[in-house]
Structure 1
Amino acid sequence: MLLVGKTVLVTGASAGIGRATAIAAARHGADVAINFLGSEDEAASCVAAITALGRKAIAVAGDVADPATASDFVTRAAEALGRVDVFVNNAGICPFHAFLDMPVETFERTMRVNLHGAYFMVQAAANQMMRQGQGGAIVAVSSISALVGGEYQTHYTPTKAGVHSLMQSTAIALGRHGIRCNSVLPGTILTDINKEDLADPEKRARMAQRIPLGRLGEPDDIAGPIVFLASDLARYVTGAALLVDGGAFVNLQ
């Protein structure tokens, strides 16, 4: 029970890593606000799973690519749950596409969601934490793609490197206010973001064989490290990046 008495906000939390993180936070004693875009049924299901654990929960719809969504989400979460202690920036997209004919809109949409959205969401959460005057924790979901390239991810990898860099800089900017900022860098995790890319069983098996732990990741594999970074166990950890990839990055030979 690492988050008892805390209020946790998670973006992109109706499915995948965001959903797993929101529910894990509730299991550890937190009340949770989730941001979502898309399926209201999935958002309602996540809220139901949290309330079934005896915690409070709300779902707030909004496109993180719109800067106004950030202040709306944080304000409504604080009003409903009383405060903001932990903010998890998870929302992201990766529409796979070749580099040479990358559509401008695909590139710009990916930037607006993954990087611009992270910037304004983190800014809004940090301002709320400052107003409360008791510090807080911010965790951003970056990616192993911040460290390595991808032929069909030339629009995506720069955003994830940017999210990691954002956490490094905000760790400096917000440290004096008692706000810790860290990132997690997932490896290949089975979520909607890569469902089509990994639809081929042979490709999935080939990817799994490259991972020392012998399998692709699942959303719950990332939720645990996020809860750790959000908790007081990590009270002296800020500006750090935690690679959670089953050992894929180090397996170069």
Structure 2
Amino acid sequence: MSYDYEDPFFAGRSALVTGSGKGIGRAITKQLHILGAQVYAISRTQSDLESLASECPGILTYCLDLSDWKKTEDVVKTLPPLDCLVNNAGVTSLESFLETKAESFERVMKTNVQSVLNVSQVVAKHMIKRGAHGSIVNVSSVASTRALNLHTSYCASKAALDSLTRSMALELGPHKIRVNSVNPTVVMTDMGKLAWSDPDKSEPILNRIPLGKFVEVEDVVNAILFLLSDRSSMINGVHLPIEGGLFVS
């Protein structure tokens, strides 16, 4: 995997990435580190953090279940001043609408929405206290606006996340803190490749994408880097679709 993105903005800056253990979160953590940022990584899987730290000497890792409001708040409050935040952590629950359980819905909403509110509140308050400009990117999904079979909780959580993103952008903008989301379709993480390897499942979707392919991890990473950087200094409150034109027709 290679990236052509270079930006001096990240040298000497600090960034927190949630859900850093795998997939998009791991990739953005590694790239921010390469670009010179001091990165703080949160994951609920210690082994993932240990391997990440060995690949990126100098990053600081925290094993944490973001669904625990108080513990999350306590940990994030201990972090040094931050310039960037990527709220990437997310879970799903494969249940039909009629079979969606209260505990499943609560778990998805706590991780995908409540944790973003919690972490972002702490980080934004510190930014405001310092009078620092900042950028926050929330990792959402096209599922925020399109229903997916067996994804009731997930779709609802991403719709709520987009709404939260707009509220954050409105209220934090006057403090020079920008908030945006990226909204990809199927991403070819290791999990994505396994889930969409069956042509009978993937081809109907691929046939609707003008570019004829699913999203690669680096496509999402480069979009996040752009939104974090000064190159997007007048972009605020946007939900950036990354879907190859899936919904143009």
Q: Same fold by TM (over 0.5)? A: yes
Aligned identity (percent) is 34
Do structure 1's residue 181 and structure 2's residue 188 form an aligned pair? no
Pick the aligned partner of 1:44 from 37, 50, 75. Answer: 50
Deviation at 1:72, TM superposition (A): 3.2
1:21 aligns with 2:28: yes
Cα pair distance change 1:193/1:94, threshold 3 Å: farther
Q: Residues 129-174 of structure 1: CA distance to partner in whole angstroms, max 9, x if unpaired?
A: 1222212111101110111111211111111111111111111111
- Number of residue equivalences: 242
Instruction: Tell me, in whole angstroms, the C-alpha distance in 2 between the residues paired with 1:93 and 1:32.
Output: 22
Is the aligned partner of 1:5 residue 2:7?
no
Q: Which runs of 5+ in 2 are unaligned?
A: 1-5
**Structure 2 counterparts to residues 94-109 of structure 1, below 5 A:** 94-109=92-107
Residue identity matched to 2:132: Q
Residue 64 of structure 2 is matched in structure 1 by: 62
Aligned to 2:216: 218
* 3-state SS in 2 of match to 1:246: coil
**2:123 aligned partner:** 125
Residue in 2 that maps onto 1:228? 226
Q: Equivalences for 1:71-90 in 2 at 5 Å?
A: 71-78=73-80, 83-90=81-88
Distance in 1 of aligned mates of 2:193 and 2:92: 11
CA distance in 2, matches of 1:86, 1:100: 39
Mapped to 1, the partners of 2:231 and 2:44 lie a distance apart of 32
Letter in 2 for 1:213: L
Amino acid at match of 1:158: A
CA deviation vs aligned residue, 1:72-108 (integer Å, no higher than 9, x gap): 3423431xxxx20000101001121111111221111
Moved over 4 A (4+): 192-196
Q: Contact 1:9/1:32 (CA < 8 Å) preserved in 2? A: yes
| 1:124 Cα offset (Å) | 1.3
Given that 1:74 and 1:128 are in contact with CA atoms closer than 8 Å, whether structure 2 keeps it comes out as: no
Q: How many angstroms apart in 2 are the aligned matches of 1:213 and 1:50?
A: 33
Residue aligning to 2:3: none
* 2:236 paired residue number: 238
Q: CA deviation at 1:237?
A: 1.2
Residue 35 of structure 1 corresponds to which residue in structure 2?
42
Deviation of the 1:193 alpha carbon: 5.7
Q: Secondary structure at the match of 2:172?
A: helix
Cα distance in 1 for partners of 2:50, 2:233 equals 32
Answer whether contact 1:88 1:139 (CA < 8 A) is retained: yes
Q: Does structure 2 retain, via aligned residues, the 8 Å contact 1:24–1:224?
A: no
> What are the ranges of 5 or more consecutive residues in structure 1 without an aligned counterpart?
none
Amino acid at match of 2:33: A
SS in 1 for 2:210: coil
Q: Which amino acid aligns with 2:69?
A: P
Moved more, 183-192 or 101-110: 183-192
* Root-mean-square deviation over aligned CA pairs: 1.8
Task: For 1:152-171, list aligned pairs within 5 A.
Answer: 152-171=150-169
Q: Which amino acid letter does the alignment assign opposite residue 89 of structure 1? A: N
